[in-house]
Amino acid sequence: MGFKTAIMGATGAVGQELLELLDERNFPLDSLKLLASKRSAGKKIKFKGEELIVEELTHDSFQGLDLVLSSAGGSISKEFAPSAVKAGAVVVDNTSFYRMDPTVPLVVPEINPEKIKEHNGIIANPNCSTILMLLPLWPLHQKFGVKRITAATYQAASGAGAQAMLELEEESVALAEGKEYKRTVIPHQYAYNLFPHNSPMMENGYCEEEWKMVNETRKIFGEEDFCVSATCVRVPVLRAHSEALNIEFNNEIDIKEAYKVLEAAPGVEVFEKREENRWPMPIDASGKDPVYVGRLRKDISNPNCIDLWLVGDQIRKGAALNAVQIAELL
């Protein structure tokens, strides 16, 4: 049995990764439709040895479809996802628009797959930084009980899309050659620089990206008062986000026991060579599925805390892979 499937936002970075993953994982397709904006319509994209033509996204694009993988931006999902549902398709949405809607399940398959059954036509994919953080955090919470987490993220250009990745490459070359460069996506000099995440600032002093990590964690864990604090930073890395986590437990835990939990955790891989001071880096995770963790250590300021370093590919597990895994469970 195959599924009549469409990718909404097929020409973007996540859309391209969705195509690759559908092929790699041999997803049961009966047909595949590529949807994008009017300016991208007519482009040809290769898939399984065939050339597929990108079609313009309209409200009539969804007739006869079973599944829509959406990664075209929140405003596009807001406008078009209801039309897909009305036509009988299930939408797995990779934008922020539906994540905190109480009627829409927010799913990480390794954590809360049972929530998929509660969908009313739309299932939301969490924010990339949230997914990467929760994959190692959830099994530790299940085993030991996490009281509070403080996260600092180091987010790559991939989180802002394919054009941001291109701008980082071009700006790096331009500055190395002593030339000026005009950016259109990133608001500050990005090459050889970093800055607090440029998502809109809220009245409480957090930016939207940080607030997503707080609220999405609570929804996925099913704990309204779960304590999360995040500081999100954009760094000049092309692909794969990194995060430094300080995790406070209800009681003191043994580092060796924490390693055992993480070694058995689905979607997580311990990656380190302690004797060489070698830990996971973005270049290790780029193009890979697991979230790599390492450098676990006791927080010397609090016996109930440990520190943990992780790296994960924002486009894969942080976006496209999580969506495809949801579709596989569907």
> Is the confidence at residue 111, as pLDDT, over 90?
yes
**What is residue 83's predicted lDDT score, i.e. its pLDDT?**
98
* Residue pair 96/89 in contact by the 8 Å Cβ criterion: no
**Cα–Cα dist 300/234, whole Å:** 28
Q: Which domains can be identified in the chain, with CATH numbers?
A: 3-126+320-329 (3.40.50.720), 130-314 (3.30.360.10)
- Tell me the sheet residues that pair with 29: 3
> Is the confidence at residue 255, as pLDDT, over 80?
yes
**Cα–Cα dist 203/209, whole Å:** 14
Helices and strands in the chain, H and E counts: 8, 15
* Per-residue pLDDT tens over the stretch 161-172: 889 999 999 999
Q: Greatest CA separation found in the chain? A: 60
Told to judge if 232 belongs to the known catalytic residues of this protein, a careful annotator would answer no
Catalytic residue chosen out of the listed positions 128, 141, 232, 305: 128
* Per-residue pLDDT tens over the stretch 59-83: 999 999 999 999 998 999 999 999 9
Cβ neighbours around 50 below 10 Å, total: 9
User: What is the overall mean pLDDT for the chain?
Assistant: 96
* Per-residue pLDDT tens over the stretch 204-250: 999 999 999 999 999 999 999 999 999 999 999 999 999 999 999 99
* Residue pair 256/274 in contact by the 8 Å Cβ criterion: no
> Is the confidence at residue 1, as pLDDT, over 90?
no
**What is residue 40's predicted lDDT score, i.e. its pLDDT?**
92
**Cα–Cα dist 312/265, whole Å:** 15
Query: Phi and psi (nearest 5°) for 312?
Result: -150, 150
Catalytic residue chosen out of the listed positions 119, 141, 197, 241: 241
**Cα–Cα dist 144/154, whole Å:** 27
Residue for token pair 């809109």: 200
Can you read off the two tokens belonging to residue 119?
């969908």
Mean pLDDT value across residues 281-286: 98
**Cα–Cα dist 96/212, whole Å:** 9
**Predicted TM-score (pTM) of this structure:** 0.96
Told to judge if 241 belongs to the known catalytic residues of this protein, a careful annotator would answer yes
Task: Please name the helix (run of DSSP H) or strand (run of DSSP E) that holds residue 173, with its range, or none.
Answer: helix 162-176
Q: Tell me the CA distances in angstroms from 39 to 51, 52, 93, 95, 244, one per residue in order.
A: 18, 16, 22, 21, 40
**Cα–Cα dist 84/65, whole Å:** 8
**Cα–Cα dist 311/153, whole Å:** 10
